[in-house]
Structure 1
Amino acid sequence: MEIEQEVDYMKLTWRAKTIGPTLPSFYLGDDRLPSNKSYGFNIFVDDAACIDWLEKHSISSVVLVSNGSYANYDATQLEELGNGLCNSSKPFLWVVRSDEAHKLSEQLKVKCEKNGLIVSWCPQLEVLAHKAIGIMP
């Protein structure tokens, strides 16, 4: 309700126009459009790999590690992070951007295969909403 008052204020004061919702309605807890799960645009073809991998894990058992678009770790830092994930013995989904992937050693990649999955991209909303990711409502 509070945000609606702010939107109304912006409309009256600056004649601002709002655009939304910024999330597909499925993720807003709105049952009116249950099939509205995406933005309708996807340049990445292989979403299924990480979703299929998540399906094999129990509820709230997987750690998601995603450093975002702007993080810039050196090879040593990425190796430390990767070793920590692998040594935890917990399942993990690690999103390492394709322009950062060359910093991971082959040894680490092989070591991570035991408990984790390393991808260069994932459908973030779908992954965050997945039962296997350790986020509780």
Structure 2
Amino acid sequence: MISPSSQCMAPHACALTIGPTLPSFYLDDDRLPSNKTYGFNLFSSTAPCMAWLDSQPPCSVVFASYGTVADLEPTQLEEIGNGLCNSGKQFLWVVRSVDEHKLSEELRGKCKERGLIVSWCPQLEVLSHKATGI
């Protein structure tokens, strides 16, 4: 069976997805409320960032993640970090472990005042969390 998301992907990529591309928990159909991960999950959903999000008020956290493809220069990371710090909002910022060395200690210290920097997070859980939700 070809999933609807495969048909949507056809004009953009030569790939065929198998099965749902989103766990059913996020589809608002309540069929499988415990299905929150993509197949085999190597990471625990008890990621430290989730406990931090639980301590934040609803709709108060900005989530910043540039994925695994973006290769940002140290100056770009500094600008993003300063923008997040100066925004006046709490934030969760995902910086890949291979890029962590690009962050200055000064910026790390400044970020600790309002935000949390992590090298990985369960993105769907973060995006559906009450602290980042609308």
SS in 2 for 1:83: helix
Gaps of 5+ in 1: 8-16
Q: CA RMSD in A?
A: 2.3
Could you tell me how far apart the structure 2 residues matched to 1:18 and 1:122 are?
23
TM-score normalised to the size of structure 1? 0.80
Give me the whole-angstrom Cα distance separating, in 2, the residues matched to 1:19 and 1:107.
45
Shift, 1:43, TM fit: 2.6
Where does residue 105 of structure 1 map in the other structure?
104
Task: Answer with 1 or 2: which has the greater Rg.
Answer: 1
Specify the alignment match of 2:92 in structure 1: 93
**Segments of 4+ in structure 1 off by > 6 A?**
none
Give the helix-richer structure, 1 or 2: 1
Counting only pairs closer than 5 Å after superposition, residues 60-79 of structure 1 correspond to structure 2 as 60-79=59-78
Verify the 8 A CA contact 1:62 1:90 in the aligned structure 2. yes
* 72-81 vs 41-50, which moves further: 41-50
Letter in 2 for 1:26: F
Structure 2 Cα separation of the partners of residues 71 and 18 of structure 1: 23
- Relative to the length of structure 2, the TM-score reads 0.82
SS at match of 1:92: strand
Identity of aligned residues (%): 63
**CA shift for structure 1 position 42:** 2.6
- Contact kept, 8 Å, 1:95 with 1:120, in 2: the verdict is yes
Retained in 1: the 8 A contact 2:45–2:122?
A: no
Deviations 1:101-137 (A, max 9, x none): 110011111110110000001001111111111x43x
Q: Distance in 1 between matches of 2:94 and 2:20?
A: 26
Alignment of 1:1-137 (within 5 A): 19-45=18-44, 47-133=46-132, 135-136=133-134
- Where does structure 2 lack aligned partners over 5 or more consecutive residues? 8-15
Answer whether contact 2:47 2:122 (CA < 8 A) is retained.
Answer: no
